[in-house]
Structures are given as structure tokens and as C-alpha cells.
């Protein structure tokens, strides 16, 4: 079956702009999580959506937001971009029920803010 | 903060077993131990997980100590393609599908 699809793969934006990233989970998966990966901070959890509701949120400013649609596809938005937002943004999908399930990651979107 | 401690780096000869340790001394009774790996510039890849029994799949074996305070991931016959950063993660039972990544172990498989 198809894996997790993230679009776009690469993106260059200017400081102050906003950006929207998209994630299509594996068919049948209802949980989508987002992570930011930078060389300095490593992999950090942003938020998780399950059945269109935000279930968990990491320690990021309000400029970072997301949503999930009824077909489980998810978007994340970053407003007023800063240079420090340059990172690899990863999306992971899970069945979403219970703990004993693994997460499948997409290839990520590499965002560069100039 | 991550609940696990791993050595920052390890080397392994190609064809030999790679044994990657992980300490999780504060693990609670119903938390699972998960292992993922990340090959350069790709998304993390699930390897294996377990609660208290040893587990094996086509990729690796997971050995969890009886007190559950540590575990070892074993790649039985490491290849060059196993060169990656390996993350040991304890799943928080109150945190849905959130994964808290630590620094991981950078495994270098050498010819």
C-alpha cells in the first residue's frame, strides 16, 4: 500500500512569509503527527491530530498550527517565518488506536527560510 | 525530555552483529520500548517494539531486561545499508502517538 506522502519536498521562503505543508497518511490511518528536525535540536514533536482533533501539542509557539481533514489528510502552517524555522518537517501516520501501534514517517519537507 | 539514554555513536564491522544498548530506568509498567532508525535525510523507519518479552522480526531482535530498565537492539548481520541513527523511545501512555526522540546512536557499519 502507498506510504505517507508529504508535499512539497523542498521549499524556500522569505522571512515573514507563511507556509503550508501537506501530509497524506496511509489509507486507514487516523492519526497524523508532525515533527521538526534541525541539526541543533534534533527531532521535536510539534502536534498530533486524531479524527480531526488535536490530541497532543509540543512546545512550539503559536505561529505553528495544523489541522486534519475528514479524510485524515493533514496540513501544518507556519506564519511569520523566522530563519530558525529552517528545518526538515516530518509527518508520521498511525492507526491511532491504543499504544501498540507503530508510526510510519514520510520523507519530509525541507523548508529553507532566507 | 527523552526518557532514554543511548551512546552517541558505535561502529560495527559488516557481517557482524550490531548490539545497540538503551537505558530507560524510569520506564513505567505499561510503557512500550520502540526502536526507529533514520538513514541520512530520510524519515525515521520503524524497526521493532516490545513491552517486556523479547521480540524478533525480519529486521532485528529486541532484548528487554527483566526489570525493564534497559534494552538492546540486535541487528544480527549488519550491512553497510544499516548505517544510520538509531533511536530508542519509550512511549508515554498518556501521550497518544507522540514520540519523544533523544539523540540516538549513530551506527557506522564499516567494510
Specify the pLDDT at position B53.
86
Residue B30 — left, alpha, or beta (φ > 0 → left; ψ -120 to 50 → alpha)? Answer: alpha
Long-range contacts formed by A45-49: CB under 8 A, 24+ apart: A45/B98, A45/B99, A45/B100, A45/B101, A46/A76, A46/A89, A47/A76, A48/B96, A48/B97, A48/B98, A49/A74
Rg of chain B (C-alpha set): 13
pLDDT tens-place string over residues B47-88: 999 988 899 999 999 999 999 999 999 999 999 999 999 999
Specify the pLDDT at position A76.
98
Residue B93 pLDDT greater than 70, yes or no: no
Burial classification of residue B19, based on how many CB atoms lie within 10 Å of its CB (0-12 exposed, 13-18 middle, 19 or more buried): middle
- What is the percent of chain B with per-residue pLDDT over 70, rounded to a whole number? 95
Residue B28 pLDDT greater than 70, yes or no: yes
- A29-45: average pLDDT: 93
**Spatial CB neighbours of A27, under 8 Å, sequence gap ≥ 6:** A1, A2
A60 CB near a chain B CB, below 8 Å? no
Residue A8 CB coordination number (10 Å): 12
A51 CB near a chain B CB, below 8 Å? no
Residue A99 pLDDT greater than 90, yes or no: no
B51 Cα to chain A: minimum distance (Å)? 9
Amino acid at each position: 500500500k502507498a506510504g505517507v506522502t508529504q508535499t512539497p519536498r523542498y521549499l524556500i521562503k522569505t522571512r515573514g512569509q507563511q507556509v503550508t505543508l501537506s501530509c497524506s497518511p496511509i489509507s486507514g490511518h487516523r492519526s497524523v503527527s508532525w515533527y521538526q528536525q534541525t541539526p541543533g535540536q534534533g527531532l521535536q514533536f510539534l502536534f498530533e491530530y486524531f479524527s480531526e482533533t488535536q490530541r497532543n501539542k509540543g512546545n512550539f509557539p503559536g505561529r505553528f498550527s495544523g489541522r486534519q481533514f475528514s479524510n485524515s489528510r493533514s496540513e501544518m502552517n507556519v506564519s511569520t517565518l523566522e530563519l530558525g524555522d529552517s528545518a526538515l518537517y516530518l509527518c508520521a501516520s498511525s492507526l491511532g488506536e491504543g499504544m501498540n501501534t507503530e508510526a510510519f514517517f514520510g520523507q519530509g519537507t525541507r523548508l529553507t527560510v532566507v | 525530555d527523552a526518557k532514554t539514554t543511548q551512546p552517541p555513536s558505535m561502529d560495527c564491522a559488516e557481517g557482524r552483529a550490531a548490539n545497540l544498548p538503551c537505558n530507560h530506568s524510569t520506564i513505567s509498567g505499561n510503557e512500550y520500548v520502540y526502536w526507529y532508525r533514520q538513514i541520512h535525510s530520510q524519515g525515521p523507519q520503524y524497526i521493532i517494539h516490545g513491552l517486556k518479552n523479547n521480540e524478533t522480526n525480519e529486521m532485528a531482535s529486541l532484548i528487554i531486561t527483566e526489570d525493564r530498565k534497559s534494552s538492546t537492539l540486535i541487528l544480527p548481520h549488519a550491512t553497510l545499508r544499516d548505517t544510520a541513527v538509531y533511536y530508542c523511545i519509550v512511549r508515554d501512555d498518556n501521550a497518544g502517538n507522540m514520540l519523544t526522540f533523544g539523540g540516538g546512536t549513530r551506527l557506522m557499519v564499516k567494510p
